[in-house]
Structure 1
Amino acid sequence: MQKILVALISLACVGLSLPASAAEGKQPTAQQERMKSCNKEAADKSLKGDERKAFMKSCLSGKTAEAPAAPNAECQAKAAEKKLAGAAKGSFIKKCEADTKAAQ
């Protein structure tokens, strides 16, 4: 009885270690490599929130579009002069950038 129990335990240990050793030798797929490089690129550009989402979507789909441009420094300065913060600042900068693009 003890021999059977030892044999079953040994087989269980070997069976549990096989999937772990098989995973070690696998190479990442092309999609996994792309995900890794896109994540690194997004981190390097310090993207967060919706900007990061949009960048990751375009990067993972294979499009080489750049990340959305950083907010216009002039609009940032105007918002600072008006001492805007939070949603008001974001709204002001968005409108300012749209007006700047329209003027060009």
Structure 2
Amino acid sequence: MSGCKHVATVRSVEPRTLGCEECLEDGEEWVHLRLCRECGHVGCCDQSIGKHATAHFHATGHPIIEGYDPPEGWGWCYLDEIMVELPDQTPQRGPIPRYY
């Protein structure tokens, strides 16, 4: 789990919502959640219809996400396409709705 040059962008963040931001706005369902470790955006995984976590990466360039539903502790770099070690695990800030 080494070789990622982008781990320097990882921050301790506060999740902005209790589920996928865009799915909550649109009344959509998700499968799993991903947390942007640069800004705290919560988006749905690529198995979900919206693929909002990946869309957030393409819109912002924020490369590192954390598995988040409940917090899983693993990280992924979109740019290097590899798992990354995170310096900490983001605590869940409230009950996350289940949609699958």
TM range (shorter): under 0.3
Which structure has the greater CA radius of gyration? 1
Normalised TM-score (structure 2): 0.22
Higher relative strand content:
2
Higher relative helix content:
1
Greater RCO (CA < 8 Å, at least 6 residues apart): 2
Normalised TM-score (structure 1): 0.22
